[in-house]
Structure 1
Amino acid sequence: MKVLFVSYEVYPIAKVGGLADVAGALPKYLKDLGVEIDILMPFHKSIDKNITSNTGVVQKTRFLKREISFELHKKLRPLGNVDVFLLRNDELMNSDEVYGASDLGLQAMSFSDAAAGFAADRGYDIVHLNDWHTGLMAVYLKQGNANCRTVFSIHNLAYQGTYGREYLQLSGIESRFLNGITAGKNINFMKAGLLYSDKLSTVSPTYANEIQTEEYGAGLEKVLSRRKRDLVGILNGIDYSEYDPEKDTRLWANYGLDSIEKKEINKSNLQLLVGLPKSREPLVGLISRLVDQKGLDLIEEIRGELMRLPIQLVVLGTGDKKYEKMFKDLQENYPDKVAVRLAFDLDLAQKIYAGADLFLMPSRYEPCGLGQMFAMRYGTVPVVRYTGGLADTVKEYGLSDHGNGFGFADYRGECLLKALKKALEVYNHDDSWREVVRNAMKEDFSWEASAKNYLSLYKQTLEVKSNA
């Protein structure tokens, strides 16, 4: 089985969010299961030019009304055991930010066209597409009669890649494919992937059900409901070789299940690093894009009551100005309780995962969520809203024999506050707290099980081919 895994971001080459973590880990585990797999991604401006070599191959678009050429590069060292190919066009990839191009629609469309040619030329059995930036590949592969099947993974349905009529006209997509992928006079890249891929997946079982409803379907719930037989939810994993508290060199002290007490060293050093006084009060970590999706309006709703709780809060992330200002104001007004870093800092993120006592994820919706998995791996107990992958991974302590966290269902500030108060009660009982921390650390969110599920999905996808 020969598979091409296509993603706009791949850790550690280029990372914005959880998609990069998935793309940087899943292919390696699939390779270990015997899958012949390569990764293909754009050559973003921010990528270190010294880690690749130019293959000398020029990959041209085949469908666009205007021909665009890409240089094909290859990473000098495989990612683990997986080869990584990159399509380079400096004119289109003109931003230091992965999604910051002056014309992201044209970039994604032309990349998808050229990538479809790459996949067809190299004879892959399956092309695994990820999120809206690659959605048009499913159409181009069908239109070009490529001898391969497609799997399309939805990482976040809210971001769909909708562009105006001029993109539709430039796309070169034949009229027989257009009815389904338009939204009024616009072209919808996500919808293209949903309609024309052979199989669909998303990143947790609960989210797979949620996106078929009006509340979570972002306008595509009817499309997803029609394709529910082809849709499966497979929980993301995390790379246990990369995220290991016993070996992580970014920590002040390494620890494991038999040495959890050393976690306290990381807490003390983290407090010192971010300017908080050393305190036994629980340190709550929040690492997030600062946007509405992440439930930050609930924090705004209860900010007064939150600051009266016996906690410290460390926040890492960037996003909407209103939330950046909210957290900055909290830091200014409560300097002994709140530390804020408005940045993207992987090193500090690891220190927070290891040094915090609680990890906050009150998301309005969360397709899978990796933060709660990282946190539990490091013995930091999650407090979440039970939605999407958070509902699939966090089990309420006190209600489950192996409770590993705390949460709430109704999207209200008072419910978040109640969940936090319950977590604080348990924190103040040493034996109970030790139990919930150990339960969290014992969870297995490694990629092995998820990779086997994807392998099963690939096999089903090939059966679609043989029965076609």
Structure 2
Amino acid sequence: KETAAEVKPEAVEAGKETATEVKPEPAKADKETAKEVKQRAVKAVSKKVKPGAAKAVKIEEPKEAYATPRKSVVFIGSECYPFVKTGGLGDVMYSLPKALVKQNCDVKVIIPRYKCIPEEYQKKMVYKGSFNMDLCADGRSFYVGIMEYVWDGVVYDFIDNEEFFSSGNPYISLVDDIPKYCFFAKAALAALNYLDWVPDIIHCHDWQAALTPVFLRTMFEKTKLSGAKTILTIHNLRFQGIYDIPKIRYWSGLPDYVFNKDALKEGQRDANMLKGGLTYCNIITTVSHTYAGEIQTPYYGEKLDAHLRYHSGKLRGIVNGIDYDIWNTKTDSRLYVNYDNSDVLDKKKENKRSLQEELGLAQDDHKFVIGLISRLTNQKGLDLVNSIMSQIMDEHTQVVVLGTGDSEYENSFRYYENAYKGNVCSNIMYDETRAHRIYAGADAFLVPSQFEPCGLTQLIAMHYGTVPIVRETGGLKDTVEPYNMYSNTGNGFTFDRYEAGLLLDAINRAKTLYFTGREYWDKMVQRDMEKNLSWDNSAKQYKDLYLELG
């Protein structure tokens, strides 16, 4: 391992501008409107056209005529697919920047260079420089390396430090993770300073990057980054980065005045990194409109509800999307049979039969197959499923489960597979190919979560023509419109209160329509596939938010 003392190339103090000044493109060019781009293109072509030959020349529209001004945005977070991913944050950090490029944004993503990042990506990284950065309250400094990889129009910068990121897993324990992400939050800003890349927007994600707005408004307030606006997105409020004040004060080196009850202080002796970020950022977003309201209540607020109510004026909710390059029934190579909306009713039957065969279930077109892909935890509503499983199972129903989690639920589903042989398959693992096949082969998809900030599984299920059965919470409520038998509208079946009986009722309503009103069920399948669930809508809302910040 390299220590700070051993590695001191191009020593640069965090927060100071580098000696080499890189002159950026004139700001005026970045702010051009679509109309100005078009006028410039027409003018350029007309100069080359001889008099009398105008009719013979076709003036083409410029390829990238954007409707809104260009914005430079940096995403700072702890994970990003395909380099490292443990949950939905990794998907967002990959898909949203790609979608923002199409919205006339210049996007950079900064994540740690973990040792667990696959070698195929490690070897493509390019060294961009390094420096030593003061971090701790006692002046202790650490090496910061910057490795870069460009892909799909997005620049990925990896913060390199063997001491913090040599573990095989991005998250170990709070005692290890607190110093790691104090370092990362500051190093990300110092790297931007070093690279002389000054963004309009610094978009931070979850507690691991939450100290970035705090550093920006304190230790970096006299640097060229100080004009940037900050957004902090909450993906799951349950995780906040809480530890005792002395430890976080030491590892961050932040001034004493930020450790007050309105910023980082939590209770009598703890500091809360997420809370500090919420105080110092310009805008707070979360991943659905309903969840933005829920987290301001004691039930969902994870002890930050009062703080969020105080900052409600800068709180917004924007639903996530799914990446159509990955989730596309027409091109998905993992499926048994590809399909689209024109032939979904026939091809889904083929996928269903093949899934039943692969999983050792009774092959029967008339069975109602329910899919469940989830972490097996209380949050996901599996205690409700446990209490009604015997009532769900009948001669017409099959259940397919995929996921890992608490041993209580892993063992329960193993028991159900044995008790209902040929009609229940419990895959206590995670397999990407099998997940795709369950989305395509199941008739209905179960998401009975206790709380769900956004949820991606119900979006994928609908896009694959699988009808969701969900609880009305968070993003589930925002994305699944309950079926209305009178107007024949809606995208799925829902229940409101967190009660097993209401979940059973929703499943039975779905079964009833499937078996007795198949024509209406099929129309719902096609409606779900037609629904635009891509990142396009979400990216446009984020771009509007960036423009709102100026």
> What TM-score comes out, normalization by structure 1 length?
0.94
Aligned mate of 1:360, from 437, 446, 453: 446
In the other structure, the counterpart of 2:62 is none
Counterpart CA distance in 2 for 1:45 and 1:275 is 39
Q: Distance in 2 between matches of 1:264 and 1:228?
A: 47
Paired residue type of 1:138: P
1:178 counterpart = 2:259 = yes
| CA drift at 1:227 | 1.1
Which of the residues 139, 147, 163 maps onto 1:73?
A: 147
SS of 2:107's equivalent in the other structure is strand
Tell me the distance in 2 between the aligned counterparts of 1:161 and 1:344. Answer: 27
Output the CA distance in 2 between the equivalents of 1:334 and 1:22. Answer: 38
Q: Amino acid of the residue matched to residue 243 of structure 2?
A: Y
Residue 150 of structure 1 is aligned with which of 214, 230, 249? 230
C-alpha displacement of 1:108: 1.3
- Of 331-340 and 357-366, the range deviating more from structure 2: 331-340
RMSD: 1.7
Larger Rg: 1 or 2? 2
CA contact (8 A) 2:331 2:338 kept: yes
C-alpha distance 309-295 of structure 1, shift in aligned 2 (>3 A): farther
Match of 1:91 in 2: 163
Q: Which residue matches 1:457?
A: 545
**Match of residue 272 from structure 1:** 357
CA distance in 1, matches of 2:131, 2:308: 33
Cα distance change of structure 1 residues 239 and 413 upon mapping to structure 2, 3 Å threshold? same
CA distance 1:411–1:270, shift in 2 (3 Å): same
| Equivalent in the alignment of 1:409 | 496
- Asked if structure 2 preserves the Cα contact closer than 8 Å seen for 1:272 and 1:278, the reply is yes
One-letter amino acid of the counterpart of residue 459, structure 2: M
Verify the 8 A CA contact 1:212 1:224 in the aligned structure 2: yes
Structure 1 CA distance for aligned equivalents of residues 372 and 131 of structure 2: 42
Q: Is the 8 A contact 2:146 2:191 kept in 1?
A: no
Task: Please report how far the alpha carbon of residue 304 of structure 1 lies from its aligned counterpart in structure 2 after TM superposition.
Answer: 2.1
Aligned to 1:241: 325
Matches within 5 A, 1:24-103: 24-51=94-121, 52-65=124-137, 66-75=140-149, 77-78=150-151, 80-100=152-172, 103=176
* Correspondences of 1:196-275 after superposition (within 5 Å): 196-260=280-344, 261-275=346-360
Taking the aligned partners of 1:59 and 1:359, their CA distance within structure 2 comes to: 50
CA distance in 2: counterparts of 1:348 and 1:342, whole angstroms: 12
Question: What is the identity, as a one-letter code, of the residue corresponding to 1:110?
Answer: F
1:2 pairs with 2:72:
yes
Q: CA deviation at 1:307?
A: 2.7
What amino acid is aligned across from residue 130 of structure 2 in structure 1?
A: V
172-181 vs 406-415, which moves further = 172-181
Q: Deviations over 1:337-388 (max 9, x none)?
A: 2112222222221111111111100000111111100000000000000111
Give 1:295 deviation, angstroms.
0.7
Instruction: Provide the residue aligned with 1:112 in structure 2.
Output: 185
- 2:342 is paired with a residue whose SS is helix
What does residue 337 of structure 1 align with? 423
Distance 1:4 1:418, change over 3 A: same
Give the CA deviation at 1:56: 4.5
For 1:35, the aligned partner's letter is: C
Partner of 1:466: none
2:401 maps to what in 1? 315
Code of the aligned partner of 1:434: D
* Structure 1 residues 171-202: Cα deviation after superposition (integer angstroms, max 9, x where no partner): 21111211121213222121122111111111
Distance 2:385 2:319 in 1: 27
Report the residue type matching 2:231 in the other structure. Answer: V
Secondary structure of the corresponding residue to residue 204 of structure 2: strand
The 3-state SS of whatever aligns with 2:202 is strand
The residue type paired with residue 414 of structure 1 is G
The gaps in structure 1 that reach 5 residues or longer are 463-468
State the SS of the aligned residue for 1:246: coil
2:536 alignment partner AA: E
Specify the SS of the correspondent of 1:258.
Answer: coil
Q: Is the 8 A contact 2:370 2:399 kept in 1?
A: yes
Separation of aligned partners in 2, 1:168 and 1:326: 44
Gaps of 5+ in 2: 1-70
Q: Give the Cα separation in 2 of the matches to 1:61 and 1:336.
A: 60
400-409 or 364-373: which moved more?
Answer: 400-409
CA deviation vs aligned residue, 1:233-267 (integer Å, no higher than 9, x gap): 01111112221101111111110110111111211
Amino acid at match of 2:293: N
Letter of the 1:89 partner, please give it. Answer: N
Amino acid at match of 1:229: G
Alpha-carbon offset, residue 310 of structure 1: 2.8
The worse-fitting range, judged by mean Cα deviation, of 221-230 and 58-67 is 58-67
Are 1:282 and 2:391 an aligned pair? Answer: no
Deviation at 1:168, TM superposition (A): 2.9
Cα distance in structure 2, aligned partners of 1:98 and 1:128: 20
CA distance in 2, matches of 1:376, 1:91: 44
- Using the TM superposition, give the Cα deviation of residue 63 of structure 1 relative to its aligned residue in structure 2, in angstroms: 3.5
Partners of 2:482 and 2:437 in 1: CA distance:
25
C-alpha distance in 1 between matches for 2:92 and 2:132? 28
What's the CA shift string for 1:99-131, capped at 9, x where partnerless? 236712221111111112123442122110011
Q: Mean Cα displacement is larger for which, 49-58 or 6-15?
A: 49-58
2: distance between equivalents of 1:297 and 1:154?
26
CA distance change for structure 1 residues 190 and 384 in 2, over 3 Å: closer, same or farther? same
Secondary structure at the aligned position of 1:91 is classed as: helix
Residue 309 of structure 1 and its aligned partner are, at CA, apart by 6.7
Checking the alignment, whether the CA contact within 8 Å between 1:61 and 1:110 is kept in structure 2 is no
Distance 1:128 1:273 in 2: 43
Letter in 2 for 1:176: Y
Q: CA distance change for structure 1 residues 435 and 59 in 2, over 3 Å: closer, same or farther?
A: farther
Are the aligned partners of 1:358 and 1:383 in contact in 2 as well (CA < 8 Å)? yes
Match of 1:465 in 2: none
C-alpha distance in 1 between matches for 2:131 and 2:370: 49
Match of 1:123 in 2: 198
1:387–1:59 distance in 2 versus 1, CA, 3 Å:
farther
Q: Is the 8 A contact 2:332 2:338 kept in 1?
A: yes
Counterpart of 1:164 in structure 2 is 244
Shift of 1:60: 4.1
Contact 1:202/1:232, CA 8 A, preserved across alignment: yes
Q: In 1, distance between residues paired with 2:209 and 2:130? A: 20
Kept in 2, the 8 Å contact 1:151–1:201? The answer is yes
Q: Does the aligned pair in 2 maintain the 1:151–1:461 contact within 8 Å?
A: no
Q: Report the alpha carbon displacement of residue 212 of structure 1 after superposing the two structures with TM.
A: 0.8
